[in-house]
Chains A and B, each alone.
Chain A
């Protein structure tokens, strides 16, 4: 079965810390995505990557960066964590579009609390 694995289910970090959220997929997918989900705001796109070392900003990239050194791994980096980055973070992957019958496969999420 296809799988997207996020390294931590729950994470508590202090304000100002540099935080790494890791995501690994075993489906050889080209595209990988990071979203955050907040009550009342829904799923919002932070960054995505369509190939190794390639990245695109989503709708809310401020305060975040990403890294994709290998096809299977996509990392989200909070350069200096702040309390307003407390959220559920969801990673997803997909094959290329263009007639594909697939949507995203999501990881199980990382609930990050910044104190």
Chain B
């Protein structure tokens, strides 16, 4: 089983729709979970993080965590063309973060 799994996509949504990005992880010891956005040719940038089971909202973004199911997701409401990027899920492993391969999101106007 891969340590962090994400659907590679592309996930295509129309402008204004909700985009749902999913991630599963294998290490039950992971304590914190991060979502990064990476535009083509650029470095990853942090969108948000979550530590506790449940939902966490930050503007148009909502992260959801279910530790029992080892599942974390990111919802993007009112998707914009500028949200088109690759989204990386990153659970912690001790001091480090272990990244999934990412899901490519395409938002069409």
* A33, B43: Cβ atoms closer than 8 Å: no
- Per-residue B-contact encoding for A43-69, CB less than 8 Å = 1, 0 else: 111001010000010110000000000
* B98, A45: Cβ atoms closer than 8 Å: yes
The size class of the interface chain A forms with chain B is 20 to 34
Q: Does B73 contact A (CB under 8 A)?
A: no
B3 nearest CB neighbor, chain A only: A59
Residues of chain A at the chain B interface (Cβ within 8 Å): 31, 33, 35, 40-45, 48, 50, 56, 58-59, 90, 96-97, 101-109
* A103, B97: Cβ atoms closer than 8 Å: yes
> When the two chains form the complex, which single residue of A31, A59, A97, A106 contacts B43, counting CB atoms closer than 8 Å?
A106
In the complex where A43-B88, A45-B96 touch, is A97 in contact with B32 (Cβ < 8 A)? yes
B88 nearest CB neighbor, chain A only: A43
